[in-house]
Amino acid sequence: MSVTLTLSDVDPGGTQIYAFGTVQLSGNYPTGGDTVDWTQLIRQIGVRGDSVESSMADPAYGPVQGSFTVQGGTPNQYQMQQGAAANTWKMRGYTTGSAGGEFTGGSAYPTSATTDVITFSAQFRKLT
């Protein structure tokens, strides 16, 4: 049960901060989705993290927009669900084969998911 975000690029923009990176899945998929902790990005951004950190101090200022995308490979789909805080968002995974259902809760992630090349983009309000 782990969604690990790895930052690859940050665009500090004028009023928004745009963060881009990759997603790695491991362990078991929890029923209802796996937790996404956006505060992982603060440690990776370093000096530029001041604006993102202050944006995530209030749950209303978690990502204002974000998405997961699969780069080739399987037809799996991933959706974000807003949490009450920046460290309690959920990622829900779905197969798009004939069943097209959500990954099985409590079971290991399907091999197709752990080998997917998943990227993310997220947009944060700039508060400082």
Average pLDDT in the chain: 82
Would you state the pLDDT for residue 20?
A: 92
The amino acid at residue 93 is G
pLDDT tens per residue across span 25-74: 999 999 999 999 888 877 666 545 455 655 565 555 568 888 899 987 77
C-alpha distance from residue 79 to each of 15, 102, 126 (Å) = 25, 10, 24
Would you state the pLDDT for residue 123?
A: 86
Strands (E), the chain: 2-11, 16-26, 28-29, 34-36, 65-70, 77-81, 89-94, 107-108, 118-125
Q: Indicate left, alpha or beta for 87 from its phi (over 0: left) and psi (-120 to 50: alpha).
A: alpha
**Residue owning tokens 């993310």:** 120
Would you state the pLDDT for residue 4?
A: 92
Look up the pTM and report it. 0.81
**Dist CA 118 CA 6 (whole Å):** 11
pLDDT tens per residue across span 71-125: 877 789 999 888 887 888 899 999 876 567 899 999 999 988 999 999 999 888 7
- Can you give the residue ranges of every domain in the chain? 2-125
